[in-house]
A and B are shown apart, each in its own frame.
Chain A
Amino acid sequence: MSLTESLKKTSLYDKHIALGAKMVPFGGWDMPVQYEGVIAEYTQTREAVSMFDISHMGEFVVVGDCVESGLDRIVTMSLEDLPVKFARYGMMLNDNGGIIDDLIIFRMEKDKWFLVVNGATTEKDLEHLKSSLNPSARIEDVSSVTAKIDVQGPLSRDVLKSIFPGIEKLEYYTFDFFNYLSKNILISRTGYTGELGYEIYLPWDSIDVLWNKILEDKRVRPAGLGARDVLRLEMGYSLYGHELSESITPIEAGLGKFVDFGKEFIGKEVLLKQKEQGVDRRIIGFVSDNRRSPRAEQAIYALDGTEVGVVTSGTFSVALQRGIGLGLVDHGVVKKEDKVLFGNEKARSEASVTSRIFYKGGSLKD
């Protein structure tokens, strides 16, 4: 059996092929990396609207009181004060404070929670949740029946409001249920691009009708994972398996603001200690001095040649017309505005340590 035969396909697979997509393996799925080209799709998203098939993500429904069910103790964000129809980003940690996954939790009803996790970690996450939730909680894995499309870009609200009247009322990180083809579907104002945008969750078998319907609007074009990666990296957003893993904590990953220290949660002790005593390493952002892009797994060096860390993600920033990267470095060795080198034994390039938010002109909160 070849590798491609063992990859999972979303229900839009045939549409991607018909649209001329280049497909690549991603977290066990055969996904579109690009259609007309990464930069064209990037620009389309920053200036108009793009639509992404993100059906590989995992989704679970948990029913139960957030504290009694044990869910609140499993995740870093606070759930008790989350209003119904609001969403919140956070992480699930192991006992050492390492990140099992990052996720968004939607409060559908007072005691009903919708969890969206990464595609490649869905099975692992489900096992962790099942073994950590209290017996009173009910959990259902709806990943195989839930498709997801992201509509992102400054014109996304204008495009979607004719199909989903009322969507214009959604604020950042809120969601609602909309009727489509006599089905109740969840749409949230969230995304991974830094632009105004929406994520649409709907039954696996109705997605192609909606995909076609949205594409009828000539302002919308499909975009692949290639553009998505440039868009997310320009915003400094983490990607599981790169900036986040079971051997890195939220403090080291620079995601402390998504941790509620006012409650009890798995891994809290380690995080508290790191907060008090500081961390040995942390994620930084850096901008290449030229058009050369850093690549994941390259080394990061101080100017004197000492190796100080590793590149976790790197790409070419279309906005800056320079290479940008995130990297895990020894804490205290490099500071903001310091010069560093990235590369390998043979060739190294200069870069400057900066804020990890590389792009600030997005329509995210418009």
Chain B
Amino acid sequence: MEIVEHLMYTKEHEWVLVDDDIATIGITDYAQSSLGDITFIELPSVDDEAEQFGEIVSVESVKAASDIFSPISGRVIEINTELETDPALINKSPYEKGWLAKIEIADKEELSNLMTAEEYENFLESSG
């Protein structure tokens, strides 16, 4: 499973890219592989308030529906609308074209609740 070095991760297999006050969020390669072919996505609206570890996106694969949780609190400032017509982008490119939303970070302290790439790799190994 691909893990990207400069991102931070949650136990629910979401990633976050921090660029100053803006966080770009998505799901990991492990998550997209477990979900299988993603067929539908319900993104938040711009200006929605995200809460750390709160539900932010719902996705459906051929077989099941799942919730995705926000790695960070803050206001949604942009969403990846391309996913609405082509949700399979998440499967093809989970760390780049498959990004979900950009969030204006409310509290940088929350980043300490996330895992580094190395910690996430260990977490994946230990959870088998």
A contacts, CB < 8 Å to B:
33-34, 37-40, 226, 229-230, 290-293, 295, 315-316, 323
Contact = CB atoms under 8 A, between A and B. Distances in A.
16 contacts: A33-B63, A38-B36, A38-B37, A39-B37, A39-B88, A226-B62, A226-B63, A290-B40, A293-B40, A315-B62, A316-B39, A316-B40, A316-B60, A316-B62, A323-B39, A323-B40
Interface of B: 36-37, 39-40, 42, 60-65, 87-88, 91
A38 B38 CA distance: 10
Nearest to B58: A347
B76 to A, nearest CB: 19
Given A38-B62, A226-B62, A230-B62, A292 B40 contact: yes
A323 B40 CA distance: 9
Given A34-B36, A293-B60, A315-B63, 13 more contacts: A37-B91, A40-B37, A229-B63, A291-B39, A291-B40, A291-B87, A292-B40, A293-B39, A293-B62, A293-B65, A316-B40, A316-B60, A323-B39
Nearest to A317: B39
Contacts of A39: 37, 62, 88
B46 to A, nearest CB: 20
Most interface-central of A33, A292, A315 (chain B CB within 10 A): A292
B57 to A, nearest CB: 13
A38 B63 CA distance: 9
A40 B40 CA distance: 17
A230 B39 CA distance: 13
A4 to B, nearest CB: 14
Nearest to A230: B62
A55 to B, nearest CB: 22
A33 B34 CA distance: 12
Most interface-central of B36, B42, B60, B62 (chain A CB within 10 A): B62
Contacts of B61: 38
Contacts of A290: 40
Top 10 closest A-B pairs, CB basis?
Answer: A316-B39, A291-B40, A39-B37, A38-B62, A292-B40, A316-B62, A38-B37, A37-B37, A293-B60, A291-B39
